């Protein structure tokens, strides 16, 4: 009998003790929606968590056949990039090193730039359909590190205390990194915003949907002055900083989701010093650079 390449790869993984999991967890398995992180709360016990570096890449999910964005849109990765990926649901970041977000984001919307894709790897941080705690899942999907030239696993650490956490955060920021992720060791995979997954950054960020494009005044006459946006929690506010002149002339489309940075929350529950960072990359996968004309706020 002639074995397929996928079965041969499965047999090679027997020594890692995970082959038995692969067969029942092919793409027919029910795939939960993405788990989202909350901001780290210092009152949590650090001993309950596994900690990893937060990569500033494009979040992607391998469903066993293709790469998908967080919202389920297809990422047009070249066939050679995913060749040899295992038939199991995996989550990670498409990343090409510090300061590479823009080029990775562009590549995720098109597979035409082969040279850029050669510099990208999928760095795994979870396997949603595996049973058990995060610590148990990590022990299993860690076996995929360097399974192919384009597959890596983000190392998870146990830290002694908050001092060690802050020291590691500083080291990552010093080398151009973004922050840390903390995952409760005994937690099963949970869809949506989770109390089991946290992010720790020097400056926080979040996402909001564009409700309206507000016209500018003075030097911004004829351009966008600010965006009226709303977070997933229903908080509405105006965001008028962080934009280049080119972005003010061609602002993000009404209805799209944007990522913004902020420093704390006001007494009214709104982000303090909100600053535009970028349009969420998976929105651009289908909508490209569509823009709306500057106009009045929506009623």
Catalytic residues, by residue number, are 54
CA angle in degrees (0–180, nearest 5) for 32-208-235: 105
Residue among 39, 265, 36, 45 nearest 165 (CA): 45
Order across the sheet with 67-68: list the strands: 74-75, 67-68, 58-62, 90-95, 121-126, 151-153
Q: b vs e for 35-62, b when ≥16 Cβ sit within 10 Å of the residue's Cβ?
A: bbbeebeeeeebeebbbbbbbbbbbbbb
Tell me the two tokens of residue 120: 């990208």
Tell me the two tokens of residue 219: 């030097």
Tell me the two tokens of residue 199: 């992010």
Bridge pairing between strands 236-239 and 224-231: antiparallel
CA dist., res. 41 & res. 200, Å (int):
9
Q: Which residue has the tokens 């949603």?
A: 128
CA dist., res. 240 & res. 173, Å (int):
26
Residue among 204, 218, 189 nearest 128 (CA): 189
Could you give phi then psi for residue 266, rounded to 5 degrees?
-75, 170
């Amino acid at each position: 009998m002639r074995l397929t390449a996928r079965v041969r790869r499965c047999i090679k993984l027997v020594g890692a003790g995970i082959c038995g999991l692969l067969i029942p967890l092919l793409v027919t398995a029910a795939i939960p929606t993405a788990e989202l992180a909350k901001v780290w709360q210092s009152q949590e016990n650090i001993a309950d968590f596994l900690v990893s570096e937060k990569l500033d890449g494009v979040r992607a999910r391998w469903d066993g056949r293709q790469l998908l964005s967080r919202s389920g849109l297809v990422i047009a990765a070249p066939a050679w990039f995913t060749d040899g990926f295992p038939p199991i649901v995996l989550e990670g970041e498409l990343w090409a090193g510090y300061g590479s977000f823009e080029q990775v984001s562009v590549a995720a919307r098109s597979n035409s730039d082969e040279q850029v894709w050669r510099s990208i790897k999928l760095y795994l941080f979870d396997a949603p359909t595996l049973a058990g705690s995060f610590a148990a899942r990590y022990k299993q999907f860690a076996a995929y590190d360097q399974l192919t030239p384009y597959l890596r696993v983000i190392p998870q650490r146990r830290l002694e205390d908050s001092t060690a956490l802050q020291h590691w955060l500083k080291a990552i920021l010093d080398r151009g990194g973004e922050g840390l992720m903390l995952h409760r060791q005994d937690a099963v995979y949970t869809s949506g915003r989770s109390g089991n997954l946290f992010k720790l950054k020097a400056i926080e960020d979040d996402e909001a949907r564009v409700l309206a494009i507000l016209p500018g005044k003075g030097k911004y006459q004829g351009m966008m002055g600010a965006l009226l946006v709303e977070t997933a929690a229903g908080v509405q506010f105006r965001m008028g900083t962080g934009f280049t002149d080119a972005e003010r002339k061609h602002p993000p489309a009404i209805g799209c989701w944007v990522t913004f940075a902020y420093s704390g929350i006001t007494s009214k529950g709104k982000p303090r010093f909100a600053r535009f960072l970028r349009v969420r990359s998976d929105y651009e996968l289908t909508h490209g650079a569509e823009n709306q004309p500057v106009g009045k706020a929506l009623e």
